A and B are shown apart, each in its own frame.
Chain A
Amino acid sequence: MTGALGRLRRLTPALVLVLVGLAVWQWYVTASAVRPQVLPSPLRVLTEGWAFRAQIWANALPTLQVTAVGFAVSLAVGWAIAVAVDFSPWLRRALTPLLVASQTLPIIAIAPLLIIWFGFGLAPKVVVIALVTFFPIAVGLIEGFGRTDRQATNLLRSMGASRWAQFRYVRLPGAMPSFFTALRIGITYAVTGAIFAEYVGASAGLGIFMNLQKNSFRTDLVLAAVLVTALISVSLYGLTFLVQRLVAPWSRRG
């Protein structure tokens, strides 16, 4: 109870800043009589967004689905790579440069190719999301495993622990704080990645919705979709704290 209140109080400065920004924006649009195709007022974004809520919702669902599937794939790939690298120095040397190289790929240029290769279905979008998000997850885990105290490893070895037991009893739980940090970075990229992938080509989703509305000069609806995207990202971000509390309550900081 007091925790929730305290958290609200800590958010107050951010909320004040947002409200001031919205007020200035609203005032500017009214005062300058700028056309809504160029810059709609925040109130207009809200009212039009609400009027089109059914359509936005219908497009938000596929985006959520793509994000979930893409991020699940990314998690699986990130974990598999991190665990493999942790157990095998050879794989570490083999995979580390490839991991880094994967992050230099210009996704903007590759995304259209993915659509040529995989079509307009789930697959190209899942690949884009995985490409964008598996890296922070894999690196966060690898570093988390690697941060294990040498003395802790020695303690386990003195107990007769195999490499697997060391992993299970110390390296894995010890990596949880960095994993959840990486998870938070990854999940915010995941939603943006999904929007981007849809933008390039999709039959439904917030990305394609934004693209269509932009083409018909409905700037207000584009911004309404942006707002919904932000809400989804923030909710998923918040969800990671809940998961952390359930899975590894001891790893919360501060």
Chain B
Amino acid sequence: MAELKGAEHKLVIEGLRKAFGPLPVLDGVDFDVAPGEFVALVGPSGCGKSTLFDVVAGLEPPDAGRVLVDGADATGRVDPFAYMPQRDLLFPWRTVLDNTTLGLEVAGVPRKAARARAGELFEPFGLAGFEKARPGELSGGMRQRAALLRTVVQDRAVLLLDEPFGALDALTRIDMQLWLEGVRAGFGWTVLLITHDIREAVFLADRVLVLGPRPTSVRHETVVDLPRPRDVSMITQPRFAELEAEVLGQVGRGRAAGADSEH
């Protein structure tokens, strides 16, 4: 039956539970993601968003629940997911190009082929000319784009992006959001994005899932029925403001009501 359910979904998360010792963090997380869909996750800080990614990405075993990819059980497996952690983690001992090929190298792709594959993406990622630079020479926005390039070039089924723009200043962040909205259309990625920026979630996503406080579960779902491609003018439209208010209200509800009230 789960196989049937999984068939039309790229990713199905079923009843994930996780506790660290006495501390329950995930309290039965359920949702699914269609192929090519962009789903944003918002929730109070410390509620367990990064933990959810660690479990989905196969880095932490769940106490209960399953992860299905293309209908097949992928619980504990790392290979369907490309994971972009909260910090960019570009390594100073590698050039920018060699940082972006790391995942391919680990997977055994010959260095030359790996460099060719990652190199092709430098232009669309706004990094052309910086192949041989060291990470320290890049601006904050470029570092995040390099980290994202390293993530997507692995060609995994689902991208897991944990607050990719969280550390950037407001203007750079908006640039990055516009750029990501522009570039993602051409690639057909299936994306899960954690963010604490509700405007970012509404602007980028097809759907926004609101997580409750720890121990967390999905409290609310907002379908973002805004046309694509989206540009800056979208932000000033009434429908955008409505959706933003809806998500904000749900995040606030979770916080004000404490840990009870399941919907």
Q: Which residues of A contact B (CB under 8 A)?
A: 149, 151-152, 154-161, 165, 169-170, 173-174, 176, 248, 250-251
B245 shortest CB reach to chain A, Å? 34
Note all chain A residues with C-beta closer than 8 A to B250.
Answer: none
Note all chain B residues with C-beta closer than 8 A to A173.
Answer: 91, 93
B55 shortest CB reach to chain A, Å? 12
A174 shortest CB reach to chain B, Å? 8
Rank and list the top 4 A-B pairs by shortest CB-CB distance, nearest first.
A158-B83, A173-B93, A159-B103, A159-B106
B194 shortest CB reach to chain A, Å? 14
Q: Which residues of B contact A (CB under 8 A)?
A: 54, 57-59, 78-79, 81-83, 85-87, 89, 91-93, 102-103, 105-107, 134, 154
Note all chain A residues with C-beta closer than 8 A to B87.
Answer: 149, 151
Note all chain A residues with C-beta closer than 8 A to B93.
Answer: 173, 176, 248, 250-251
CB of B86 within 8 A of CB of A158, answer no
Per the bound structure, the CA–CA distance linking A156 and B57 in Å amounts to 12
Per the bound structure, the CA–CA distance linking A149 and B154 in Å amounts to 22
Per the bound structure, the CA–CA distance linking A155 and B100 in Å amounts to 12
CB of B83 within 8 A of CB of A154, answer yes
B151 shortest CB reach to chain A, Å? 9
CB of A160 within 8 A of CB of B134, answer no
Note all chain A residues with C-beta closer than 8 A to B57.
Answer: 154, 158
Per the bound structure, the CA–CA distance linking A155 and B102 in Å amounts to 10
Specify the main secondary structure of chain A where it touches its partner: helix
- Looking at the complex, which one of A149, A158, A170, A174 makes contact with B78 (CB distance below 8 Å)? A158
CB of B58 within 8 A of CB of A158, answer yes
Of A149, A155, A158, A250, the most chain B CB neighbours within 10 A belong to A158
Per the bound structure, the CA–CA distance linking A155 and B134 in Å amounts to 19
Note all chain A residues with C-beta closer than 8 A to B102.
Answer: 156, 159, 169
Per the bound structure, the CA–CA distance linking A1 and B89 in Å amounts to 33
Note all chain B residues with C-beta closer than 8 A to A152.
Answer: 89, 91
CB of A155 within 8 A of CB of B83, answer yes
**Chain B residue at smallest Cβ distance from A154:** B59
**Chain A residue at smallest Cβ distance from B59:** A154
Note all chain B residues with C-beta closer than 8 A to A161.
Answer: 106
Per the bound structure, the CA–CA distance linking A245 and B78 in Å amounts to 37
- Looking at the complex, which one of A154, A169, A170, A174 makes contact with B85 (CB distance below 8 Å)? A154
Note all chain A residues with C-beta closer than 8 A to B106.
Answer: 156, 159-161, 165, 169
Note all chain A residues with C-beta closer than 8 A to B107.
Answer: 159-160
Per the bound structure, the CA–CA distance linking A174 and B89 in Å amounts to 12
Per the bound structure, the CA–CA distance linking A170 and B102 in Å amounts to 10
CB of A157 within 8 A of CB of B92, answer no
**Chain A residue at smallest Cβ distance from B160:** A158
Q: List 26 A-B contacts (CB under 8 A).
A: A149-B89, A151-B86, A151-B87, A152-B89, A154-B57, A154-B83, A154-B85, A155-B85, A156-B106, A157-B59, A158-B57, A158-B59, A158-B82, A159-B102, A159-B103, A159-B154, A160-B78, A160-B106, A161-B106, A165-B106, A169-B106, A173-B93, A176-B93, A248-B93, A250-B134, A251-B93
